[in-house]
Structure 1
Amino acid sequence: MNGEIVRALNSIFQQWDVQSVDSWNTTGDPCSGSALSQDDSVFEDTSNNPAIRCDCSFNASTVCHITRLRVYALDKRGELPEELLDLPYLTFLKIDQNFFSGPLPAFIGNMSRLGLLSVAHNVFYGSIPQELGNLKELYLLSFGNNNFSGTLPPELGSLVKLQQIYINSCGLGGEIPSTFANLENLEIVWASDAAFTGKIPDFIGNNWTKLTSL
């Protein structure tokens, strides 16, 4: 594994005061043990937290990259560090139920392979960066139960692969952007306990035809 990636992961964990578990480690090659499993039950196991998943199929199976990172309900604090950009193959970032704070940094918009971004149940604040609209591979976006302010960026309407969005109790208000009419693959939308205003958009009934939970 690229030494820069190892250093980035170690730096992220140091800033968050997170220790790797015994089933994989950051002292040598983190792409070892449970990190090599492609089984979701292994990745989501409560004893495997924090967890990473590696994909070692690159360059004719000679190169590994970290593709998933989960730090769930560990009561950790800190901000989102720029070293996340040194994990360019990350498709899954889940850091729910901690005490992470600060604004969501605009650089998240450069993490172009992300399919799942979940930062719910933290204490993030400030506005939602419009750069999130650059994450064209997102199928799940969750930032509910935080202390954000302002409105939903219209740029989120370009996330046409989005299937689930959780924006309940997030602190945002204002009208739902008209660009959200483009989100025709939405199946789940949670938006309760928020100060959204205006009439319920017609596109919810006309365009969001795959909805199963609203």
Structure 2
Amino acid sequence: MFFPWCLTLSLTVLICSVNLGYAATLVTDEVEALKQIAKTLGKKNWNFNVDPCRHDEPSWFTHTEDIRVNQVNQVECDCSFYNNTTCHVARIILKRQSLGGKVPPELFRLPYLIEIDLTRNYLNGTIPREWGTMQRLARISLLGNRVTGGLPIELANISTLLNLTLDYNQLSGNIPPQFGDFSSLEKLSLISNNLTGELPQSLAKLTTMKDFRISDNNFSGNIPNFIESWTSLRRLEIQGSGLSGPIPYGIASMANLSQLRISDLKGNESTFPLLRNNSNFKNM
């Protein structure tokens, strides 16, 4: 008489045990990588006594009373591997965390990473060449740090990269010709650095470019005509860049361009193209 009830209870306990036993967890190699990344960044409030990817566990970072506007402290995982039992780190977003360490080369040890966002910290050091081996990476932002050195040519090996934002740092040197090899890049933003040299002709190959910003640098040479070939371009900012005119007339007829800022060109006064036939402009 009681057998069906007991059987049901036994099955329930068994199912619960199976679910608990196969809860998705972050692979050990990536846990160890996060420990080293935290050390390099100067990140002290990650709690490695819990799994970074287990949302049902207590928070793996310690909250502080100093909560700032637009502050983000996020490690996002993809736990869809091996029947939802295995996790890999997909995104690291640490905005306004007052991090005073260095830009961590160890991020390359997270092979499934698609986004690195370390916006508005106090990080120093250089952009790691090791990042060029990350073949799933789509977005990098180091905006508003103290990063020095040049732009590593190895970054151009990241065929999946869509967005490279490096504004407000202390980067120097030229834009490498290899940056023309980006096959998917849609945004390149280098505002307020110490970059020099002419824009390499190889950038003409960046036909997927939608957003290009190079204001407040020390470039030389003329605004290149190849910008006219970026038919997907929506935003262009060249203010106090060090470049000289003339402004390519073809810019006025770019069908998708809606935000255009060009000013403080070197050399002789440059005539601005007539824009009355382009109704897309929102900001000039």
Is residue 114 of structure 1 aligned with residue 137 of structure 2? Answer: yes
My pick for the range that moved more, 10-19 or 148-157, is 10-19
8 Å CA contact 1:19–1:50 kept in 2: the answer is no
Stretches of structure 2 that go unaligned for 5 or more consecutive residues are 1-25, 58-68, 237-284
Aligned to 2:51: 29
Aligned to 2:95: 72
Q: 1:96 to 1:3 in 2, by over 3 A?
A: same
Q: 1:47 to 1:209 in 2, by over 3 A?
A: closer
**Cα deviation 1:83-125 (Å, max 9, x = unaligned):** 2122111000000111111121211111221100111111111
Aligned to 1:104: 127
- Structure 1 vs Structure 2 CA RMSD: 2.1
TM-score scaled to structure 2, two decimals?
0.66
1:191-210 mapped onto 2 (5 Å cutoff): 191-205=214-228, 207-210=229-232
My pick for the range that moved more, 189-198 or 47-56, is 47-56
1:38-187 mapped onto 2 (5 Å cutoff): 49-187=72-210
* Structure 1 residue 160 displacement after superposition: 2.1
8 Å CA contact 2:146–2:169 kept in 1: the answer is yes
8 Å CA contact 1:18–1:50 kept in 2: the answer is no
**Cα deviation 1:54-90 (Å, max 9, x = unaligned):** 1111123221100100111122111123321221110
8 Å CA contact 2:71–2:96 kept in 1: the answer is no
Aligned to 1:10: 35
Stretches of structure 1 that go unaligned for 5 or more consecutive residues are 36-45
* Structure 1 residue 183 displacement after superposition: 0.8
SS in 2 for 1:125: coil
Q: 1:65 to 1:211 in 2, by over 3 A?
A: same
8 Å CA contact 1:139–1:163 kept in 2: the answer is yes
Q: Quick one: higher RCO (CA 8 Å, sep 6+), 1 or 2?
A: 1
- Number of aligned positions between the proteins: 201
* Structure 1 residue 17 displacement after superposition: 2.7
Letter in structure 1 aligned against 2:112: Y
SS in 2 for 1:161: coil
Distance 1:75 1:29 in 2: 24
SS in 1 for 2:232: coil
TM-score scaled to structure 1, two decimals?
0.87
Distance 2:204 2:70 in 1: 41
8 Å CA contact 2:41–2:103 kept in 1: the answer is no
Identical aligned residues as a percent: 34
8 Å CA contact 2:133–2:157 kept in 1: the answer is yes
Aligned to 1:41: none
Letter in structure 2 aligned against 1:4: D
Q: 1:34 to 1:184 in 2, by over 3 A?
A: farther
* Structure 1 residue 20 displacement after superposition: 4.7
SS in 2 for 1:141: strand
8 Å CA contact 1:120–1:142 kept in 2: the answer is yes
Of structures 1 and 2, the larger Rg is shown by 2
Letter in structure 1 aligned against 2:231: T
SS in 1 for 2:43: coil
Distance 2:166 2:56 in 1: 28
